[in-house]
Amino acid sequence: MSASAIVRLENVTLGYYTIPKGWRSLFKIKQPVVFNVNLNVIDGEKVVIIGESGSGKTTLLKTILGILPPFEGKVYVLGKSIYDLPVKERRKITRQIGYVPQDPYKSLNPRVKVETVMMEPLERSNLTESEKRERIVEALRLVQLHERILEYYPMQLSGGMMQRVLIARAIVHDPEILILDEPTSALDVSIQAQVINLLNHIQKKLELAMLTVTHDLAVAQYLADRVIILYRGRIVEEGETRMVLSQPSHEYTRLLISSYRASI
Ligand SMILES: Nc1ncnc2c1ncn2[C@@H]1O[C@H](COP(=O)(O)OP(=O)(O)OP(=O)(O)O)[C@@H](O)[C@H]1O
């Protein structure tokens, strides 16, 4: 494996265990939803996985985040095969990932102040309270939020501000990679471009690797050095963004591009 690979998937097949109708819960069958995926995200690289709803994007992220062991294959994060490690060790590695979940409205507990949300990734660190505070203020500054919002509850924030809080929380512990699940899909169109610009700015400033999953070709166009097209759980095409979008080789990619063009 290359020394600078932050995330690497080798021949990964994964999915869920389901209980067939009429059977007791002892009897479970494997239901793969992602098949034989190979993926490599290197230091400082921006990769976007594009796929329609149900194609397996979130499932793929769950395995990288250490919460869904694959049926087959190896998942490396920061050079370690995470499912070959004891759970405690695995968590130590996956805590070095910054993660922004799919829906800001559902991801923030309405009864928990922004300050507590921001403190969470720093709980296990050796930093002093004032160093933690400094980190938090710096992360908020990077997402262009004032520290006074630490006293707010999520309900007092707009959707765009909630998303910025989630991005700030994902970078506050200085991760090696930022992983984003549909970072713009819950936001108003007018806010989407701002969030994309912000993410590009943060990625450049912190020199982070960034892995995003989305169904939205526009997100890929503005947020990816490299795109991966996922169709029904299989990678059907990948390459440099401009090349794939201008000269798609797979039928599904062509279809995605033509429906995107028709929508703008
Ligand atoms: N906990 C689960 N148990 C069983 N099947 C699941 C579970 N979560 C997801 N699935 C199934 O796995 C498939 C892929 O789902 P996944 O959420 O990864 O897709 P997605 O591309 O992220 O779509 P979306 O953008 O709509 O979330 C779907 O068929 C879904 O129904």
CA atoms within 13 Å, Cβ hemisphere of 19:
7
The structural architecture, per CATH, of the domain 44-66+96-262 is 3-Layer(aba) Sandwich (3.40)
Q: What is the Cα–Cα distance from 115 to 217, expressed in whole angstroms?
A: 34
- Distance between alpha carbon 260 and the CA centroid of its chain, in Å? 22
Contact 56, 34 (CB under 8 A): yes
56 C-alpha to ligand 1 centroid (Å): 6
Q: Whose CA is nearest to atom 16 of ligand 1?
A: 56
ipTM, interface predicted TM-score of the complex: 0.97
Tokens of 86: 């004891």
Contact 136, 130 (CB under 8 A): no
Per-residue pLDDT of the chain (264 residues; tens, 9 = 90+): 444 799 999 999 999 998 877 666 667 889 999 999 999 999 999 999 999 999 999 999 999 999 999 999 999 999 999 999 999 999 999 999 999 999 888 899 999 999 999 999 999 889 999 999 999 999 999 999 999 999 999 999 999 999 999 999 999 999 999 999 999 988 888 889 999 999 999 999 999 999 999 999 989 999 999 999 999 999 999 999 999 999 999 999 999 999 888 877
Task: Say what the pTM is.
Answer: 0.93
Q: Whose CA is nearest to atom 31 of ligand 1?
A: 54
Crossing angle of helices 189-206 and 129-142, in 10° steps, is: 130
Q: Whose CA is nearest to atom 29 of ligand 1?
A: 54
53 C-alpha to ligand 1 centroid (Å): 8
Q: Where do the domains of the chain lie? A: 44-66+96-262
Contact 202, 190 (CB under 8 A): no
Cβ of 51 below 6 Å from ligand 1: yes
